[in-house]
Structure 1
Amino acid sequence: MAAETPVTLGPSPARRDALTRRIRLLVAATLAYNVVEAVVALTAGTLASSSALIGFGLDSVVEVSSAAAVAWQFSARDHAVREARERTALRIIAMSFFALAAYVAVDAVRALTGSGEAERSIVGIALAALSLVVMPFLSFAQRRAGRALGSASAVADSRQTLLCTYLSAVLLVGLLLHATLGWSWADPIAALVISGIAVKEGRDAWRGKGCCA
């Protein structure tokens, strides 16, 4: 009888520990960046009376809650405890997506109906451009590590970070069009699309879909 070939299920313990450390570092970096991003966006948005910038700042707050949920999960040293915490982390991330979608949708409708003219914000434009560079890198690195580890919560949080990239692009285009052409409607229209994406990602996170595809 031919010898059976052993089947390796998942990463080795050493590889799992290395991936866990990488995710912890990426989550810490995401948390730190989003705290700074939230403070700058909310301050600049208030000074410019920009609902788009304020919404972007609140998105950063949602990002912090999502990353904090993953940080809490991976703070456990024991692998079994981390797995037990994953479902709760996924619920928190899903609710963060839903809260973000609701806010963006309401804010977009309010902007479309006309609730005041925002001023041009150079700080907001610079922040959106910087986030458009930083966020894709953090999202890709965490998604890759999360899939290798088989962690649905890490992957879901990376999608939250990727959504922030889309919002950065929307914010940047909206602020530039408003500053150069006076097109105040461009940002809220795109924001409604982002809101729909957030709802889908929230459903996937709630169901634990898309972990290791």
Structure 2
Amino acid sequence: MSAHSVSVKKGVSIEVVTILWMIVEAGVAIGTGLVAHSLALVAFGADSIIELIAGTVLLWRLIIEANGAGLDRVKQAEKVSSWVVGIALMLLAVYIVVASTDKLWTHQGAESSFLGIGFAIASGVVMPYLSRAKKRIGAEIASKALQADGACSIVCAYMAWTVLAGVILTALFGWWWIDSIAALGLVYFVVKEGWEAIQEARGKEDACGCGCCHD
């Protein structure tokens, strides 16, 4: 088996892990967020749903290549994957802006939920690992869509840390607004990565300017 084939199979495995994790994370985050009236946790769960969609499409793209499909079909799957990842990131950016603005307008602070916070801690640890693995494997098999999905994963980690920081700072200092401000700080990164993925889908070979595609 060639090194390329081995890397593709690794890509399939990492996407399966991502999908399973996102299913659990989305259910826990959204469920606990609704119970605790926490928009931060609900936004965290919404990110998990976008990750789940993107991961499912990336898994489809990788399985096509793993099954020995022709180059043209793989490129077509790559383009579809880039579109989905890019649009998913843009939707995530919109959600962050809407949720954060609403929290600031209504003076809603981060509320604690032991189960939700526990999963946020776990995601803050697991997602950076998945992100690095996706970017490395994506570089090995020349899949910029997989590398862009790696950017989705690190955004998930950033949101997990934002949830934790918001809860801790609110509890310690009463800064009810801090998690909304931190979440808004992610929008530039999310939009940048989403636009790069869309440019890749449109066939702009040099669209990626973040450096992540060459790690």
TM-score higher than 0.5: yes
Q: Give the corresponding residue for 2:16.
A: 28
Shift of 1:162: 1.0
Give the % identical residues.
31
RMSD value, Cα = 1.5
Shift of 1:120: 2.3
| 4+ runs deviating over 4 angstroms | 115-118
Q: Is the Cα–Cα contact under 8 Å of residues 140 and 158 in structure 1 kept in the other structure?
A: yes
Q: Secondary structure, in 3 states, of the residue corresponding to 2:174? A: coil
Shift of 1:128: 1.2
Higher deviation after alignment, 72-81 or 190-199 = 72-81
In the aligned structure 1, how far is the partner of 2:121 from the partner of 2:23?
17
Q: Give the corresponding residue for 1:94.
A: 86
In the aligned structure 2, how far is the partner of 1:107 from the partner of 1:171?
13
Structure 2 counterpart of 1:197, one-letter code = F
Runs of 5+ unmatched residues, structure 1: 1-12
In the aligned structure 1, how far is the partner of 2:11 from the partner of 2:80?
18
Shift of 1:117: 5.6
Query: Pairwise mapping of residues 189-204 of structure 1 onto structure 2 (< 5 A)?
Result: 189-204=181-196
TM-score normalised over the length of structure 2: 0.88
Q: Is the Cα–Cα contact under 8 Å of residues 98 and 199 in structure 1 kept in the other structure?
A: yes
1:187 paired with 2:179, answer: yes
Q: Give the corresponding residue for 1:175.
A: 167
- How many pairs were matched up? 201
Q: Give the corresponding residue for 1:60.
A: 48
Q: Is the Cα–Cα contact under 8 Å of residues 107 and 177 in structure 2 kept in the other structure?
A: no
Higher deviation after alignment, 180-189 or 47-56 = 180-189
Q: Is the Cα–Cα contact under 8 Å of residues 121 and 175 in structure 1 kept in the other structure?
A: no
In the aligned structure 2, how far is the partner of 1:171 from the partner of 1:138?
19
1:172-191: per-residue Cα shift (whole Å, max 9, x none)? 10122223332110000011
Query: Pairwise mapping of residues 1-213 of structure 1 onto structure 2 (< 5 A)?
Result: 14-76=2-64, 77=67, 78-80=69-71, 81-114=73-106, 116=108, 119-208=111-200, 209-210=207-208, 211-212=213-214
In the aligned structure 2, how far is the partner of 1:28 from the partner of 1:156?
17
Shift of 1:79: 4.7
1:6-45: per-residue Cα shift (whole Å, max 9, x none)? xxxxxxx711110000000000001110110000001110
Higher deviation after alignment, 199-208 or 71-80 = 71-80
Q: Secondary structure, in 3 states, of the residue corresponding to 2:2? A: helix
Please say which structure displays the higher CA radius of gyration.
1
- The structure-2 alpha-carbon separation of the partners of 1:118 and 1:15, relative to structure 1 and needing over 3 Å to count, comes to closer
Q: Secondary structure, in 3 states, of the residue corresponding to 2:175? A: coil
